[in-house]
Amino acid sequence: MSSKKLQYEQVSLQGNITVPGDKSISHRSVMFGSIAKGRTTVTGFLLGEDCLSTIDCFKKLGVEIEVDGTNVTIDSPGIDNWTEPKEVLYTGNSGTTTRLMLGILSGTSLHTVMTGDASIGKRPMRRVADPLRLMGAQIAGRENGQYTPLAIQGSPLQAIDYTMPVASAQVKSAILLAGLRAQGTTIVRESEVSRDHTERMLRQFGANVTVIDGVVSFEGGQELTGTHVNVPGDISSAAFFLVAGAVTTNSHIELQNVGVNETRDGILQVLQNMGANMTIEIDDANAAEPTATITIETSQLTGTVIEGAIIPRLIDEIPIIALLATQAAGKTVIKDAEELKVKETNRIDAVVNELKKLGANIEATDGGMIIEGPTKLTGASLKTYGDHRIGMMGAVAALIADGEVTLDDADCIAVSYPTFFEHLNRLSK
C-alpha cells in the first residue's frame, strides 16, 4: 500500500486512449474457457489483479492457461476432467471470482475451499449460497456460508425457477453457471435487468439460452466448446475519463473500443441527461459485445435524478457520477442504490465521506445520496478504503481541486485499471 500526492493547475485533457479490457467479460472468458472442452483464445484481456486471481484459481483446477500480454490461451480438458486442487483457491479482492466460482464448483465432483483478502472476508456470500443450496449445493462457511473461507463439496444439482430479490449480475451468473450442471431447466427472473455478459457468453460457447422480458432460461447438461472471445474496453473504467473530460477546462478526449452493452451503458445516459458535450460512434452493433468510440469535451452540466431501472446499468459508476454531480448546476439525487453497500466497501458512505473532505455539498440517504452543485473542490487527504473505484474518483477530483489531493492507497487502482495513472498523465496538458 502506497500513498500518492496529486496536484494539477489549470489542467486540460487532450488526446485519445484505449481503456483496458472489460473486467466482467475478462473474468467470464477464463471461466467459460475453463468449463468448455478444447482451446479458447482471448484478446483484450484485462491484466488487473482481480482477473489474474481468476486465472490462478483455474490453473489450480488443472486448466492450462497461458498469458501473453493481453492475449490469453486456455486449453481445458472440460469441467468433467478438472483435478481436485491441493491448495485453497485464493480469489484476492475479487467478488466476481468468489461468487461465480461458487456456482461453477457446486456442480462438480470436487471438494474445494475458497478464500480472499480481508475485504472479501467482509462481503456477503449467502445471497449466492442460498439459491445454490436450493439446487442441492453443499456450501459451508462462516456464519452458515455468509463469509469466506467457503468450502464446497461438489454434488448433483437440480434446476430451479428463481426470482431475483435484487438486481445482481453476480448472483444471477452464479445460478446460471450452476445450471449448466443441473438436471432440468434453470430459470432466473429479474424485475430490473442486470448486466447480461453471462447470457451472451453462454451463447458464444454454444449453449442454447432463451431471454424474454427479463426471464433467462436454459436446459442443463449442455456442453460448451472452446471459442474466441474479444474483450472490449471496460465502460466502468472509461467512465472516469468521460467525467474527467466533462469537468476539466478546455478538454477534448477520445476513448476508443469502449464496450457499450445496453445493460452497462447507464453512465452514457446520465451524461447525456446532464448536458454533456459527447458523441458516440458505434463500431459494430452486431458484435457479441458491441463497442464504440466516445468523444467528450468540457461541458456545462445540470443536476438530474438517477433511480429505478437504470441503477443496475451504472452501479459501479456511481462514485464517479457523484463527483460529476458536484460540478453540475442544481441538485442531483441518486436513489435505489442499496447494492452499493455490499461492494468492496460501503460505497455510499465512502463516497460521501471523501467528497465532503474535498468540500462537496453531499449527503447520504438510505439508498443513495443527494448532491448540490456546482461546488469548488479543495485539496485533502483521501482514504480509498482499498477500493479501486474510490481511488480513481479521488484521482479525477484532483484534476479540478485547488491544492494537493493525497490518496492513502493508490495501489488499489491496479485491481481494474493498472495503467490508470499512465493514461491520466498522457492526456494531461
Catalytically active residues are: 316
Residue 123 marked as a ligand binder: yes
Residue 155 marked as a ligand binder: no
Residue 347 marked as a ligand binder: yes
Residue 99 marked as a ligand binder: no
320 and 389 Cβ atoms separated by less than 8 Å:
yes
Inter-helix orientation angle 388-400/420-427, to 10° = 20
Residue 23 marked as a ligand binder: yes
The helix/strand/coil state of 188 is strand
Residues linked to residue 294 through DSSP beta bridges, in sequence order: 255, 280
Residue 24 marked as a ligand binder: yes
Nearest to 294 by CA among 339, 242, 250: 242
36 and 207 Cβ atoms separated by less than 8 Å:
no
One DSSP character per residue, 363-419 reads EEETTEEEEEE----B--EE--TT-HHHHHHHHHHHHHSBS-EEES-GGGGGGT-TT
Structure-block grid coordinates of residue 9: 493547475
Residue 95 marked as a ligand binder: yes
State the CB neighbour count (10 A cutoff) for residue 9: 6
Residue 316 marked as a ligand binder: yes
Structure-block grid coordinates of residue 265: 451503458
Binding region for phosphoenolpyruvate: 23, 95, 123, 170, 347, 389
Pick out the residues of the known binding site for 3-phosphoshikimate: 23-24, 28, 168, 170, 316, 343
Binding-site residues sit at 23-24, 28, 95, 123, 168, 170, 316, 343, 347, 389
